[in-house]
């Protein structure tokens, strides 16, 4: 009866007795298998890890130099050969020997003298089991690849959606060209710099930093709710207009929270985005808006965004003001330390100022 496993499966026979190699080799070749032979452990290990890797190893236990148990131990220790099925062949017939061999990781255990029908049946069973494992492994690999692809697609869609929403707000204010790119970069610089601080390091791991950077573009999304005659006014706002302008912080947070309420589980970056949108105009001394929070009552994400946003606003031109020089903006941030801004965040800003300058030049306004 022909074997039910795939044709031309490759079997490695390891035995120090030439006659045993010849008998087993002839038996297996007659059944259509490809046969490799090794007369010792060192040769067996080399063939097992080679380009023509066997599908099954028939391994003698009692060999000079390196016995079968040691060969199996080394096979299992090497990731390239750890999964190869091994069938022990030995003259040791004691039940304790068989139990020990199986405990070492062999798939099966046959005693000599060999019985051809039994050997072929055991070989066939092991090859069928290996084929099933290989099929399952391939299916799992394909499934994992598909999951990764979908996650990457979802990630790209999320990033594009965030950028589209942020640009929607930015198009309402055409003077803020590349503001999104700059503030997003500043957020990353500040968060990574602060991650080395003993009071913030545990919170600002790489995953949190990624969420902060991803959320940053939505900080001014609430400006879509500000009337054009205020948002686009080409002169400073009066008190009444300024009161309306300040509502953009609450409008943005409310819009993000409403979006999150429409789904059945929390989305971390949306939670952070809502914090940034609502509180990035709060001040360390409590004199900001919309809620008059002070100190560490202001979420860290918003404290980071406050420095990023104000610095960019200072160095950007407006119809009602000339841009500050980079050095003037630097001094303004320093002057706001412990009054407008978190002192720790300002310290990082000072330390990373050259990087801020590089970002400002790299993402200057289109006509800048």
Report the pLDDT value the prediction gives residue 365, as an integer from 0 to 100. Answer: 66
Token digits of residue 196:
């080395």
Region of residue 112 (phi > 0: left; psi between -120 and 50: alpha; otherwise: beta): beta
Contact 62, 92 (CB under 8 A): yes
**Whole-angstrom Cα distance, residue 280 to residue 23?**
81
**Whole-angstrom Cα distance, residue 321 to residue 216?**
25
**Whole-angstrom Cα distance, residue 164 to residue 178?**
13
Token digits of residue 262:
């429409």
**Whole-angstrom Cα distance, residue 194 to residue 100?**
56
Token digits of residue 260:
């999150």
Report the pLDDT value the prediction gives residue 363, as an integer from 0 to 100. Answer: 83
Beta carbons within 10 angstroms of residue 319's beta carbon: 10
For the chain (368 residues), the mean pLDDT of every run of 10, in chain order, is: 61 92 92 92 92 92 89 92 90 72 81 87 90 86 82 70 66 65 94 93 91 90 89 88 95 88 77 94 97 97 97 84 91 97 97 96 71
Report the pLDDT value the prediction gives residue 173, as an integer from 0 to 100. Answer: 60
Contact 53, 38 (CB under 8 A): no
Report the pLDDT value the prediction gives residue 342, as an integer from 0 to 100. Answer: 97
Residue 294 DSSP class: -
* Nearest C-alpha neighbor of 24 from the set 34, 8, 13: 13
Report the pLDDT value the prediction gives residue 328, as an integer from 0 to 100. Answer: 96
Domains of the chain: 10-143 (3.40.50.2300), 175-362 (1.10.3210.10)
**Whole-angstrom Cα distance, residue 110 to residue 27?**
16
Contact 306, 191 (CB under 8 A): no
Contact 288, 297 (CB under 8 A): no
Contact 216, 164 (CB under 8 A): no
In the chain, the N- to C-terminal Cα span, in Å, equals 82
């Amino acid at each position: 009866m022909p074997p039910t496993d795939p044709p031309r499966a490759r079997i490695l026979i390891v035995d120090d007795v030439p006659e045993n190699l010849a008998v087993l080799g002839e038996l297996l070749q007659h059944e259509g298998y490809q046969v490799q032979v090794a007369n010792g452990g060192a040769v067996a290990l080399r063939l097992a890890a080679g380009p023509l890797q066997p599908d099954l190893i028939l391994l003698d236990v009692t060999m000079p130099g390196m016995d079968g148990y040691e060969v199996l131990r080394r096979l299992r220790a090497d990731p390239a050969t750890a999964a190869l099925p091994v069938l022990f062949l030995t003259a040791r017939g004691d039940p304790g020997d068989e139990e020990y061999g199986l405990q070492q990781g062999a798939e099966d255990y046959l005693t000599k003298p060999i019985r051809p029908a039994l050997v072929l049946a055991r070989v066939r069973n092991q090859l069928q089991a290996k084929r099933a494992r290989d099929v399952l492994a391939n299916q799992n690999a394909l499934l994992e690849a598909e999951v990764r692809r979908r996650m990457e697609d979802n990630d790209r869609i999320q990033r594009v959606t965030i950028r589209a929403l942020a640009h929607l707000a930015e198009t309402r204010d055409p003077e803020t060209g590349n503001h999104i790119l700059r503030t997003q970069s500043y957020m990353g610089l500040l968060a990574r710099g602060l991650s080395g601080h003993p009071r913030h390091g545990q919170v600002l791991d790489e995953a949190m930093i990624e969420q902060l950077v991803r959320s940053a573009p939505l900080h001014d999304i609430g400006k879509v709710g500000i009337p054009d005659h205020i948002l686009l006014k080409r002169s400073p706002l009066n008190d009444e207009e300024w009161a309306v302008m300040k509502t953009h912080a609450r409008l943005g947070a409310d819009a993000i929270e409403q979006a999150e309420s429409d789904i059945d589980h929390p989305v971390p970056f949306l939670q952070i985005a809502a914090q940034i949108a609502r509180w990035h105009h709060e001040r360390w001394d409590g004199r900001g808006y919309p809620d008059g929070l002070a100190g560490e009552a202001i979420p860290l994400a918003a404290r980071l965004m406050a420095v990023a946003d104000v610095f960019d606003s200072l160095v950007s031109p407006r119809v009602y003001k000339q841009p500050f020089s980079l050095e003037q903006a630097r001094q303004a941030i320093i002057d706001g330390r412990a009054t407008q801004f978190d002192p720790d965040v300002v310290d990082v800003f000072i330390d990373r100022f050259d990087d801020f300058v590089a970002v400002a030049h790299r993402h200057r306004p289109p006509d800048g």
